[in-house]
Amino acid sequence: MAKQKKSSSKKSTALPKWLKVSLWVMLLLAVIALVYENKKYIRRAYRYFSHKYIKTQWKRTDFPLDYEVHGIDISHYQDVADWKKLQAINTIGDTLQMEFVIIKATEGMFKEDEAFDEYWDEAKNQQLIRGAYHYFLPDRSVKLQAGNFISSVALQKGDLPPVIDIEESRGKSKKEIVKAVKEFAAELEKTYKTKPIIYSNINFIEDYLADDFAAYPFWIAHYYQNEIAPPDSVRWLFWQHSDKADLLGIKGGVDANVFNGTKQELQKLLIQ
């Protein structure tokens, strides 16, 4: 009589399929969280190695003449390769040293520009006059937007006043826009003890802001226009005259600006 085979008592050690999937999902979420929390350092490392082997070239750029103080404004869209070489050459061959940089800090209720911390620190290290701006959305909570900027930007002595960048009506009337910007400006003024600068293109300022913000300094965008200089209808302190200036220390085009005054007058504008 043949012997009956003994049934195997050894149990399978394989994990259930649902548990495997759960573990993979948890691992993926952990990696995403790790990258998100360290994205600024990952970005800095990438920029360091990518710039190590790149020599930036430059060409002459059409800068308006007869202005003493030049500067740029940047966000993470501009790749600053060398902070020590923020220089341009105008059409008559003069080398222009950038003396101020205005950096995008925040947008809307929750977003902080991913390059802000790095650029903010580097501007200080290079002894550039620095400023920070918030991209304001008139159809979003004013208090949350103010909180977003204030929690991200610690202005210090020697910095420019905070900047409100408003370019979109987003379906709001002039009355609603004026009310929202005034409330936002009041929140910033209460925190930083100085009037903020208001940025926009010349048409938006004339249509929505000029009548109600005469006491505020304006920073205007004015290029691709028939007139070379901004119109006299707006009292402005800063003029963004190009969005494609070529600088030795930056890869690609960048927004270029002039200050409507002397170096001494600019110093008086800074936070004391």
Distance CA 86, CA 96 (A): 9
**Active-site annotation holder among 37, 114, 167, 183:** 167
Known active-site residue 118: no
Contact indicator for 51, 82 with CB cutoff of 8 Å: yes
Is 173:207 a contact under the CB 8 Å cutoff?
no
What would the two tokens of residue 187 be?
């929140």
Strands 79-80 and 250-251: antiparallel
CA distance 131 to 160: 5
Mention every residue, 6+ apart, whose C-beta is less than 8 A from residue 152.
105, 106, 112, 116, 132
By residue count, the chain amounts to: 272
AA identity, residue 211 = D
Catalytic residue list: 167
